[in-house]
């Protein structure tokens, strides 16, 4: 339709609209991103600055709607994309504030421009909007999949951290307890009942006092390594806290568990530290086979602890068995 066919208001609008359209096109595409970037860079509080940028972004996008005569398809698609984008940020309810700002700026600017709404979408506009919808949907799926894989990896890393004692590399106490509870529950199901080894470094306090805490830490690492090397695959070895370590030997029987305990004791006694050549490390071990005397895991650990106590009080650097007169190995 030529200018002659339009009312004075429409002519004014068309002239304004095309002028504003060019101004906004250039501004939003080439100027605004740089302003937003500089704003964030120069701001002390970048998180707040980014929030302001995103909010302003919605206002600018709202200005586009009257310039498009509120054409239904882009007037729905563009605010929807803009709002969804804001909901993926760390700012709570920014999507809502942005949506309100976008609609407010669209209505305000529309009334200033006297933009007459046209509730129709031309084929050209539909064709131009389709790539936007396609790529946005594709990009969001891609972004979601990437985010999921990052979160999965991070969760796995956090879980590993929670499970592992950083100093010794063995299971951390809480994780070891979880595993031990499971083993205790099925202790009487399998043929050979599991054995518990409680290992404590002898006179560790005096190692710390004489050689310093760094050497003490090194001893913890080395004892952790020894325990790890001596147990079989599937045995549950953990650090109980301080200089105390704990192992559950499953499906082995008393004799084999005792051999493992002796190997650990022997290898600890043979430890040599480059940083403290004169240091002689030894460890005492209490060993308890699970039995129906134990009402729970705690009772089982207490029996191993009592055996450890005896090992300490009968000269240290030895394996002591829990009280059980039926055992042949005492």
| Cα gap 110→116, rounded to integer Å | 8
Q: Which contacts qualify for 99-106: CB closer than 8 Å, 24 or more apart?
A: 99/58, 101/55, 101/58, 101/59, 101/62, 102/58, 102/59, 102/61, 102/62, 103/62, 103/79, 104/59, 104/62, 105/58, 105/59, 105/60, 105/62, 105/63, 106/62, 106/63, 106/64, 106/65, 106/66, 106/70
| Cα gap 236→188, rounded to integer Å | 17
Closest CA to 168 of 258, 85, 239, 229: 239
Contact range with ligand GTP by CB under 6 A, out of 24-32, 190-198, 199-207, 261-269 = 199-207
| Cα gap 106→121, rounded to integer Å | 18
203 interacts with ligand GTP by CB under 6 A = yes
Minimum CB–partner distance for residue 218 and ligand GTP (Å): 8
200 interacts with ligand GTP by CB under 6 A = yes
Tokens 């008393």 map to which residue?
254
Contact range with ligand GTP by CB under 6 A, out of 17-25, 102-110, 179-187, 198-206 = 198-206
Contact range with ligand GTP by CB under 6 A, out of 18-26, 204-212, 253-261, 272-280 = 204-212
Residue with smaller CB distance to ligand GTP, 87 or 208:
208
216 interacts with ligand GTP by CB under 6 A = yes
Site string for ligand GTP, 158-197 (x = CB under 6 A): ---------x------------------------------
266 interacts with ligand GTP by CB under 6 A = no
Secondary element (H or E) of residue 41:
helix 32-42
Minimum CB–partner distance for residue 323 and ligand GTP (Å): 20
204 interacts with ligand GTP by CB under 6 A = yes
242 interacts with ligand GTP by CB under 6 A = yes
201 interacts with ligand GTP by CB under 6 A = yes
How wide is the angle at C-alpha 305 spanned by C-alphas 177 and 240, nearest 5°?
A: 35
Residue with smaller CB distance to ligand GTP, 66 or 286:
286
Residue from the set 202, 222, 250, 303 that interacts with ligand GTP by CB under 6 A: 202
Minimum CB–partner distance for residue 239 and ligand GTP (Å): 9
Task: List Cβ neighbours of 231 (8 Å cut-off, separation of 6 or more).
Answer: 237, 247, 249, 260, 264
Pairing of strands 195-201, 236-241: unpaired
Residue with smaller CB distance to ligand GTP, 218 or 250:
218
Residues 286-315, interacting with ligand GTP (CB under 6 A): 312
Residues binding ligand GTP (CB under 6 A): 167, 200-206, 208, 213, 216-217, 220, 242-243, 312
């Amino acid at each position: 339709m030529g200018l002659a066919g339009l009312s004075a208001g429409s002519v004014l609008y068309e002239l304004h609209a095309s002028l504003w359209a060019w101004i906004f096109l250039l501004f939003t595409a080439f100027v605004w991103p740089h302003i937003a970037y500089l704003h964030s860079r120069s701001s002390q509080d970048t998180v707040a600055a980014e929030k302001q940028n995103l909010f302003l972004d919605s206002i600018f996008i709202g200005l586009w709607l009257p310039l498009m005569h509120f054409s239904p398809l882009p007037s729905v698609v563009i605010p929807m994309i803009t709002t969804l984008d804001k909901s993926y940020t760390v700012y709570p309810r920014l999507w809502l504030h942005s949506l309100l700002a976008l609609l407010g700026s669209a209505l305000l600017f529309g009334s200033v421009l006297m933009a007459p709404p046209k509730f129709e979408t031309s084929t050209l506009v539909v064709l131009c909007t389709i790539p936007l919808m396609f790529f946005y949907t594709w990009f969001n799926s891609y972004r979601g999949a990437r985010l999921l894989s990052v979160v999965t990896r991070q969760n796995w890393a956090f879980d590993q951290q929670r499970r592992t004692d950083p100093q010794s590399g063995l299971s951390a106490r809480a994780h070891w307890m979880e595993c031990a509870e499971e083993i205790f529950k099925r202790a009487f199901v399998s043929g050979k009942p599991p054995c518990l080894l409680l290992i404590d470094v002898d006179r560790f306090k005096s190692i710390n006092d004489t050689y310093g805490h760094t050497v003490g830490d090194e001893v913890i690492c080395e004892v952790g390594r020894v325990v790890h090397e001596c147990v079989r695959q599937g045995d549950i070895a953990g650090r109980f806290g301080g200089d105390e370590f704990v192992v559950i030997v499953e499906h082995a029987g008393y004799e084999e568990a005792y051999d493992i305990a002796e190997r650990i004791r022997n290898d600890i006694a043979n430890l040599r530290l480059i940083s403290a050549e004169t240091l002689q490390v030894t460890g005492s071990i209490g060993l308890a086979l699970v039995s129906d005397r134990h009402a729970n895991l705690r009772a089982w650990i207490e029996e191993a602890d009592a055996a450890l106590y005896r090992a300490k009080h009968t000269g240290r650097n030895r394996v002591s068995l829990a009280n059980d007169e039926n055992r042949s190995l005492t």
